[in-house]
Amino acid sequence: MGNKKVGLIGYHFLYNYGTMLQAYALQRKIQDLGFQVEYIDYRFKEVMPSYKKRLWIRIKRLGVYLFYFKYYWNKIYFRSKVNIQKRFFDTFYSKYINKSSIKYLTISDLESNPSEYDIYIVGGDQVWNPNLSCSTPAYYLSFVKDDKKKAAYASSLGVTTLSLSQRQNIAQYLKNFSFLSCREVSGAKLLESICNRKVLHVLDPTFLLEQKVWNEIAITPKIPKPYILCYFLGDKKYPRQFVRNLETKTGIKAYYIPCSPLDMSNKNAIYEVGPSEFLGLIKEASYVCTDSYHGTIFSIIFEKQFFVFLKRSDEEPASDNIRIKELLSYVGLEIRLIDSNRKIPDLEDKIDYNVVKTRLQPLKERSEAYLLEILNSIRNG
């Protein structure tokens, strides 16, 4: 097995906690199963807008121009805060993510000089979401030769409907895949209707690693306990009001990992947070409030009391609510989803993680077995 090499492709390098941690999880699991593995270092320069441009778009949408000029275009403040976060991400990335010696910035680069592997695996995140500008044909392994094995592990569409042209393109891209799986039940069913073949529902790669493995790389936070951890990607105001009410009810201070413009000037915002610190903050929190899919997953992994919010309405074209709703459904925690009209639930009504683990276990076993099936296809090849 030691000479069998697996090439992964996915959003392994983005400054996003869930994205980088799921990339690590898939790599780590494959390593633990005895295979050489690395990420194809594809950075899709041709479609990726800058962090600053994306932030400006969000701030304009919020209409907080005074806020913007006061904080974000103050060069010292803006650059120092963003660069602090990036340094922590870069430290984690260089320490934990294996990548190819060649960096690819375009699909043409991939096609003209592809790295060679025994099998190519795509997945672990919304690599097939047509609403994301970074979803390119490379994530359908368009650059891989037909005589090479191609597989998808927990690849996500992030949507429940597709146009006719999108369906036709996907069918063409996936026709030569030896293995197909999807992170959401709805996505698996949609892909089955497109490809006319079985598509297995499997868990996000982060669930493939036990809590003790995540403990190994988690860094304990330096803030006083107890605390409420807030990690919001969206810009809705009602989750922040919920947090303020929770602070009042519990007497516990809330700290924010700032990803939304609404949180970046919060006096309790913590910028010294990379993926390892992110894990530590969730692990040590008394409560977690989040609208993040992976924020929810790690709350479950670390067996926290948590509350989940939706960052978009179901009607929005870019809505990816289905992944959070499905996750809560198959662990039986739909009650932890908080809408704008709901008050703080009874805090004595704790999550029974024995029940959660019982529900997760068969899904974990099926997901691990599927990944092993993919890898076994090259074991003796």
Same domain, 169 and 215: no
Same domain, 229 and 131: no
Same domain, 202 and 278: no
As a whole number of angstroms, the distance between CA 32 and CA 23 comes to 14
Range of lowest pLDDT (159-168, 193-202, 224-233, 317-326) = 317-326
Same domain, 272 and 345: yes
Q: For strand 228-232 and strand 200-201, is the pairing parallel, antiparallel, or unpaired? A: unpaired
Q: Do the domain assignments include residue 264?
A: yes
Same domain, 21 and 170: yes
Q: Do the domain assignments include residue 181?
A: yes
Residue 151 belongs to what domain range?
A: 5-49+90-209+365-376
Q: Do the domain assignments include residue 75?
A: no
Range of lowest pLDDT (47-61, 130-144, 224-238, 281-295) = 47-61
50 CB neighbour count, 10 Å cutoff: 8
Per-residue DSSP letter, 179:
B
Helix, strand, coil: what percent of the chain each, to 5?
45, 15, 40
CATH number of the domain within which 30 lies: 3.40.50.2000
Q: Do the domain assignments include residue 115?
A: yes
Same domain, 108 and 152: yes
Range of lowest pLDDT (241-255, 263-277, 306-320, 325-339) = 306-320
Same domain, 301 and 337: yes
In one-letter notation, the amino acid at residue 84 is I
C-alpha distances in Å from residue 297, one per residue of 46, 300, 316, 329 = 31, 5, 23, 13
Element (H, E) at 86: helix 75-96
Same domain, 205 and 217: no
Same domain, 41 and 110: yes
Q: Do the domain assignments include residue 73?
A: no
The pLDDT assigned to 80 comes to 79
Same domain, 232 and 146: no
- Phi and psi (nearest 5°) for 182? -140, 150
| Mean pLDDT of the region 159-182 | 94
Confidence band of 175 (pLDDT split at 50, 70, 90): very high
Range picked from 51-60, 159-168, 191-200, 314-323 for highest mean pLDDT? 191-200
| Average pLDDT taken over every residue of the chain | 90
The pLDDT assigned to 357 comes to 98
Same domain, 179 and 318: no
14 CB neighbour count, 10 Å cutoff: 17
Q: Do the domain assignments include residue 346?
A: yes
- Token code pair at residue 138: 């490379």
Same domain, 186 and 104: yes
Q: How many domains does the chain have?
A: 2
Q: Does the pLDDT at position 49 exceed 70?
A: no
Which residues share a beta bridge with 307? 289
CB 39 within 8 A of CB 27: yes
| Mean pLDDT of the region 74-89 | 76
C-alpha distances in Å from residue 31, one per residue of 2, 5, 213, 275 = 10, 10, 13, 20
Element (H, E) at 211: helix 211-217
Q: Do the domain assignments include residue 265?
A: yes
CATH number of the domain within which 215 lies: 3.40.50
Q: Which residue has better confidence, 36 or 82?
A: 36
The pLDDT assigned to 148 comes to 94
Q: Do the domain assignments include residue 163?
A: yes
Q: For strand 181-182 and strand 228-232, is the pairing parallel, antiparallel, or unpaired? A: unpaired
